Structure 1
Amino acid sequence: MRFKIMALFDLQQAFHRSPSQNFKKNTNFTRHTIISTILRPCYRLNQCSLQSLLCGPMGDGVDSYYPMIPINNSVRIVGCCNGLVCIAINGKYFCLWNPSIKEYKKLPDVDDKMKMGLFITKYGFGFDESNEDYKVLGILSGFCSADRYETMIKIYSLRTNSWKKIEIFKDGLPFDDNGKYVSGKLHWGRRDGFNSRWDIVSFDLGREICETVEQPKYVENGFSPSLGLVGGCLCVLCDFPKTSLDVWVLKEYGVKESWVKMVTVPYNLDDDPWKGPYSTPLCIGPKGEILLVYGSSFVVYDPKGNCFRHRKITNFGSFLEADVYMESLVSLVLDGE
């Protein structure tokens, strides 16, 4: 059986194309959308055109009427892949959703033990290229009883519509919340102890094994690292507090020599009430400008002119996170169903 995967921009090739190739194919971002978790006055999802946010005078946000809308409960974006969005509700339930065709699927409950106190603390979503299957990984942690703390890791397969327990991360759990999907693998940053080495760990969705990804050869020290995605490629954010942010991008996955320091973004803190670090680079424009999340706002930095543009979005409040998905006709229904 095969999934019915058809992309709006290229019906024949989208099934086998990686997210990085999709970004390169659609350089004007006409089919890319920003999706964010809005915190106030209550949890909800909001969307905005990436093109208008990057290039237009002002972005227009619209509410996303996603499935399983909670009342006064939390919703988190687990990840986006091939036009599908995975969301977590209340730290317990998952849903796969294609906003473009308004198709969704509520996943089976992860585990009965969640009713006893376990919650999903970290997660990831991506495409198993070797088995043509979409998978969700959840790391469950919490107190199962008054004196016992438990952690378990489970993975969901859309093909089998079921969860199974797996034994991974024996040398320490990931440090970051969301797994970053690239080339059939999920990636997290992990630090073992205070001031110890920071590693990039990957989980192969097909072989279900963990590996370590070699990092860039950093020129400087004294920064705080974090992991991200930009243009469908893995990136490392090197934050020099209140000074600048280096963005290193792995241009060709699996080729350590392809790490490139794409841009250095300075901090402009004189009249800024946030004064916090940058996070989540969302895209690099055709002229080299970079769109980043800064607190609960979006900024575009132009390295050629060394200038910033703060992007305003109507109908947007304080948000927790932001991700990018590309419109597609990907179906959650298997052939023959």
Structure 2
Amino acid sequence: MKMEEMPTLPQDIIIEILIRLPLKTLLKFRSVSKSWLSLLSDTQFHKTHINFSINNPKFTDYTLAAVPTVSGLGKICQVYTISSVNSSVIVSKHECPSKTLSLSAWILGSCNGLICLTTDSFNLMVLNPCTGKFNVFPDLNIEYEVGDGGVHVSYGFGYDSYAEDYKVVKMFSFPRIDDEGRHVNMVSVYSLKGSSWSSIQGFDSGHVNGNVGVFANGVLHWEGCYDYVLGGVSLEIVTLDLATERYGRIALPRYEGRGIRWRLGESRGRLVACCNCESNKADMWVMKEYGVEKTWTKLVTISSPDDGRVNISPLFVAENGDEVLVKLGTEVTLYNSSNASFKRIVDYVSGDFLQVQVATYLESLASPHV
């Protein structure tokens, strides 16, 4: 009796199945056949997989890459899987997929499973830690007359969905020599598709406080400071739309007093802001509907266990905000609001943290070569 051939599933059904599988499984499936390798290498499948992961946060695990610099040990790469179940955040150790992160001088952002970082030489790199593929290109420097205030440099990394291009933004901010308090901002954008830097118009008057922008909703965000607004200083979010290359502003929740420091983050597609309003206390806010300032919602107030001032930065937030993953000074820790407890995540053998660089991202097959 002749054995009947197994029926072949339609391509769209196969894709619907594959995008729901763990990335580790997809990487193994590339060896099944030439047709599967072709499918899993296709940029359209990469986009479909990424969009499914972003639009289904309840079913998507994220990854935390931490690169602490430890006294006497140097840089150590540690990678963790982040799962969210209702009010709980579960963080489990995950083997480091690439030693390249350990060599980075600084992590400059993440997007669609890719991480942008500096290297030991005067270069930048876009890396997929899961596949090990990377793209190295020259960093940008400029010559400019710098006053007594020096120069502040900030980066940003994100995806231009209109041009289907990954872009790196670099800002140089100088205090004006002839106008105390105001700034000149020179901004350049690197296109991975075009393999080149180009200059764009800088935004007016203000400057950014953070070193690294946060990418969410197709837009880069920095903590911004606008000088001499109504005779004082206005703290807002400076935005840059990567598709239109236009700047914008998003108002932050209002606080009175001086010495307030904001730290931005992104969690499961939502913009998160942490107001370090007292020496050892911070309020964490989430924007429930992007671009609608009245939807800023305070999740939790975090009291630092340290006596001195420590800046708290948001990394990942549980669905109802009961548990939040934060960067607390040079530590990465999980805060539980129900009992006000801290649990250190990043461990080390010995010595003390000098600094820690972090990036949270979803695992993907995205290629750094556009």
Place the TM-score, normalised by the shorter chain, in its bin: 0.7 to 0.9
How far apart, CA to CA, are the structure 1 residues paired with 2:192 and 2:332? 34
Matched residue type, 2:116: C
Deviates more, 1:127-136 or 1:240-249: 240-249
Instruction: Please tell me whether residue 89 in structure 1 is matched to residue 119 in structure 2.
Output: yes
RCO comparison, higher one (Cα < 8 Å, 6+): 1
2:3 is aligned to none
Instruction: Please tell me whether residue 294 in structure 1 is matched to residue 334 in structure 2.
Output: no
2:48 is aligned to 13
Instruction: Please tell me whether residue 164 in structure 1 is matched to residue 198 in structure 2.
Output: yes
Per-residue deviation at 1:136? 0.2
**Judging changes above 3 Å, is the alpha-carbon distance between structure 1 residues 305 and 16 closer, same or farther for their aligned structure 2 residues?**
same
Tell me if the contact between 1:59 and 1:311 (Cα under 8 Å) persists in the aligned partners: no
2:240 is aligned to 203
Tell me if the contact between 2:81 and 2:94 (Cα under 8 Å) persists in the aligned partners: no
2:77 match: secondary structure = strand
Tell me if the contact between 2:68 and 2:75 (Cα under 8 Å) persists in the aligned partners: yes
Tell me if the contact between 1:75 and 1:87 (Cα under 8 Å) persists in the aligned partners: yes
Cα RMSD after superposing both structures: 3.6
Q: Gaps (5+ residues) in structure 2?
A: 1-17, 24-44, 145-149, 175-182
**Judging changes above 3 Å, is the alpha-carbon distance between structure 1 residues 106 and 225 closer, same or farther for their aligned structure 2 residues?**
same
How far apart, CA to CA, are the structure 2 residues paired with 1:137 and 1:64? 24
The sequence identity of aligned pairs, in percent, is 26
**Judging changes above 3 Å, is the alpha-carbon distance between structure 1 residues 243 and 296 closer, same or farther for their aligned structure 2 residues?**
closer
Aligned length: 305
Matches within 5 A, 1:6-45: 9=22, 13-16=48-51, 21=55, 23-26=57-60, 29=61, 31-38=62-69, 40-41=71-72, 44=75
Tell me if the contact between 2:333 and 2:346 (Cα under 8 Å) persists in the aligned partners: no
How far apart, CA to CA, are the structure 2 residues paired with 1:182 and 1:60? 25
Tell me if the contact between 1:80 and 1:323 (Cα under 8 Å) persists in the aligned partners: yes
Higher Rg: 2
Tell me if the contact between 1:48 and 1:62 (Cα under 8 Å) persists in the aligned partners: yes
**Judging changes above 3 Å, is the alpha-carbon distance between structure 1 residues 286 and 257 closer, same or farther for their aligned structure 2 residues?**
closer
How far apart, CA to CA, are the structure 2 residues paired with 1:187 and 1:286? 22
2:294 match: secondary structure = helix
TM-score (norm 2): 0.70
1:323 aligns with one of 351, 355, 359: 359
> Going by fraction, where is helix more abundant, 1 or 2?
2
Deviations 1:73-122 (A, max 9, x none): x71100011110000235942111111000001124435759xxx99821
1:267 is aligned to 304
TM-score (norm 1): 0.77
1:279 is aligned to 312
